[in-house]
C-alpha cells in the first residue's frame, strides 16, 4: 500500500505531496478508508493560510469531506463494514469518537492527522465521521454530503425552517450557499434573493429557477437593489457564507426586526470582529453562527439524495473541474479565485 498525502508543513505555503507514508495500528473505533474523491472547502483554505489561529499540529494532513470504500475496521466499529461505500464528514454523527492518529514518513518522522482527513489516497477516520452513501447515489458526487449539504441545507431544514411566504436572502453562492438554495428549491420556497460577486454563480441560481440575482459591487449599490427587489422590506432570513466580517454585518443589517434571523456559516479571519447595533438586538433581530447546520449528516444526506436523484441536472451544478491529488495546489489556487464551487480531487 503506497500511501500518498498532501501535507501542510508550514502555513502560507503550498501543501507538500509525500509518498510512502505508513499508518500506525488502527485504534478502537477507527476505520481505514480508501479515499477515492475529496473536495476543497473554504475553511481548509483558511487553515492553510494561517487564518484560523495558531496551528499547533504541524505537520498535519487536511481535508474534511470525501468519499471512498471501507478497507478495514478497528475494534468496536459497528456502523460500517469492509467494502461499504461511505462519505466522510467533519460533522460528528453516530459511532465512536476515536480521535486522531499519527503517520510516519519515509524517515520515520511523525505527521499528525485528526479524526478525519481526506487529502490522501488512504485515511484513518473516526467511526463517527463515516456515513453510508444513500442507495443509488453516485460515489463521486457524495462528497457534498460531507460539508456543503449538511451545513447549507441544514440551515434551512434544521434551523430556519422557513414558510412558503417568507423572504430569504442568500449571500455567497459557494457550496454552502448553493446547498441552502437547493433546500429552498426542494421546499418550493420562491421569494429568494441571491447576492454574489461572480456572475457565473448567479447564472447557476437562474438554472435552478431563481432570477432575483444581484452582482455585488459595493454595499450601497447592493442595498439599493435589495430595496428594489424586496419592495423596501427587509428579509425574514438572511444566510451569509462569504467568509467576510463586513458581509456578516451587511446580512444582519438587511434582516428584519421582530423575529428576523441571520445565519452565518463562514470563516472570517480568526482575529476579525463584527459590529452590530445593540438596538437591533432588543428590536427582536437574531443572529446565529451555525455549526454544520445542526445536522446529522446521514439524515440530511438521505433527504437531499432523494431530491437530487429526481433532479440530476441540479447536482451537476456543484462541480465544474476535477484535479488529481498531486495537483491539489493548482486546485486550491483556482478555488481561491472564486471560479469554482466544488473542485473535486481524484485521489486514486
Joined together, the cell numbers standing for residue 129 give 465521521
Question: What kind and span of H or E run contains 224?
Answer: helix 219-229
Q: Is the pLDDT of residue 340 over 90?
A: no
The mean of the pLDDT values for the chain is: 95
Q: Is the pLDDT of residue 229 over 80?
A: no
Which tens digit of pLDDT belongs to each residue from 276-309?
Answer: 999 999 999 999 999 999 999 999 999 999 999 9
Task: Give the C-alpha separation, 170 to 162, whole Å.
Answer: 13
- The CATH number of the domain covering residues in 148-294: 3.40.50.720
Task: Give the C-alpha separation, 229 to 231, whole Å.
Answer: 6
Which tens digit of pLDDT belongs to each residue from 241-251?
Answer: 998 999 999 99
Q: Which residue shows C-alpha cell 440530476?
A: 312
In 141-246 the beta strands, taken as DSSP E runs, fall at 168-171, 192-196, 213-215, 237-240
Q: What is the DSSP letter of 283?
A: T
Q: Which CATH superfamily is domain 3-132+318-346 in?
A: Medium-chain alcohol dehydrogenases, catalytic domain (3.90.180.10)
Which tens digit of pLDDT belongs to each residue from 34-64?
Answer: 999 999 998 899 999 998 888 999 999 999 9
The length of the chain in residues reads: 348
Please give the pLDDT value at position 186. 98
Which tens digit of pLDDT belongs to each residue from 59-86?
Answer: 999 999 999 999 999 999 999 999 999 9
Q: Please say whether the beta carbons of 101 and 24 come within 8 A.
A: yes
Q: Please say whether the beta carbons of 314 and 305 come within 8 A.
A: no
Please give the pLDDT value at position 29. 98
Question: What kind and span of H or E run contains 273?
Answer: none
Please give the pLDDT value at position 337. 81
Which tens digit of pLDDT belongs to each residue from 88-121?
Answer: 999 999 999 999 999 999 999 999 999 999 999 9
Which tens digit of pLDDT belongs to each residue from 129-178?
Answer: 999 999 999 999 999 999 999 999 999 999 999 999 999 999 999 999 99
Please give the pLDDT value at position 181. 98
Task: Give the C-alpha separation, 300 to 149, whole Å.
Answer: 7
Q: What are the structural domain ranges in the chain?
A: 3-132+318-346, 148-294
Please report how many Cα atoms fall inside a 13 Å half-sphere around the Cα of residue 27, on the Cβ side. 13
Please give the pLDDT value at position 225. 86
More confident residue, 267 or 140: 140
Q: Which residue shows C-alpha cell 456543484?
A: 318
Q: Which residue shows C-alpha cell 458581509?
A: 247
Which tens digit of pLDDT belongs to each residue from 191-219?
Answer: 999 999 999 999 999 999 999 999 998 88
With bands split at pLDDT 50, 70 and 90, how would you rate the model's confidence at 230?
A: confident
pTM for the whole thing?
A: 0.95
**Beta-carbon count within 10 A of 259 CB:** 11
Amino acid at each position: 500500500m503506497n500511501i500518498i498525502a498532501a501535507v501542510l508543513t508550514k502555513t502560507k505555503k503550498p501543501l507538500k505531496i509525500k509518498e510512502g507514508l505508513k499508518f500506525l495500528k488502527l485504534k478502537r473505533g477507527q476505520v481505514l478508508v480508501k479515499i477515492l474523491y475529496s473536495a476543497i472547502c473554504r475553511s481548509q483554505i483558511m487553515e492553510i493560510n494561517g487564518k484560523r489561529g495558531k496551528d499547533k499540529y504541524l505537520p498535519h494532513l487536511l481535508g474534511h469531506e470525501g468519499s471512498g470504500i471501507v478497507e478495514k475496521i478497528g475494534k468496536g466499529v459497528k456502523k460500517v463494514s469492509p467494502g461499504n461505500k461511505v462519505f466522510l464528514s467533519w460533522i460528528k454523527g453516530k459511532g465512536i469518537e476515536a480521535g486522531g492518529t499519527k503517520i510516519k514518513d519515509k524517515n520515520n518522522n511523525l505527521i499528525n492527522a485528526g479524526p478525519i482527513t481526506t487529502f490522501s489516497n488512504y485515511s484513518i477516520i473516526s467511526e463517527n465521521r463515516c456515513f453510508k452513501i444513500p442507495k443509488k447515489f453516485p460515489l463521486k458526487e457524495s462528497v457534498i454530503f460531507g460539508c456543503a449539504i449538511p451545513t447549507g441545507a441544514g440551515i434551512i431544514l434544521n434551523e430556519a425552517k422557513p414558510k412558503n411566504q417568507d423572504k430569504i436572502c442568500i449571500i455567497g453562492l459557494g457550496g454552502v450557499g448553493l446547498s441552502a438554495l437547493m433546500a429552498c428549491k426542494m421546499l418550493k420556497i420562491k421569494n429568494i434573493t441571491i447576492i454574489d460577486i461572480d456572475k457565473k454563480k448567479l447564472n447557476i441560481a437562474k438554472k435552478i429557477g431563481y432570477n432575483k440575482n444581484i452582482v455585488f459591487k459595493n454595499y450601497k449599490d447592493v442595498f439599493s437593489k435589495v430595496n428594489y427587489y424586496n419592495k423596501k422590506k427587509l428579509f425574514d432570513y438572511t444566510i451569509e457564507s462569504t467568509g467576510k466580517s463586513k458581509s456578516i454585518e451587511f446580512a444582519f443589517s438587511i434582516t428584519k426586526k421582530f423575529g428576523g434571523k441571520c445565519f452565518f456559516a463562514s470563516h472570517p479571519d480568526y482575529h476579525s470582529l463584527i459590529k452590530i447595533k445593540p438596538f437591533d438586538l432588543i428590536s427582536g433581530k437574531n443572529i446565529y453562527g451555525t455549526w454544520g447546520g445542526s445536522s446529522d449528516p446521514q439524515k440530511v444526506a438521505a433527504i437531499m439524495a432523494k431530491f437530487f436523484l429526481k433532479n440530476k441536472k441540479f447536482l451537476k451544478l456543484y462541480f465544474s473541474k476535477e484535479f488529481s491529488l498531486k495537483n491539489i495546489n493548482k486546485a486550491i489556487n483556482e478555488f481561491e479565485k472564486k471560479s469554482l464551487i466544488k473542485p473535486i480531487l481524484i485521489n486514486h
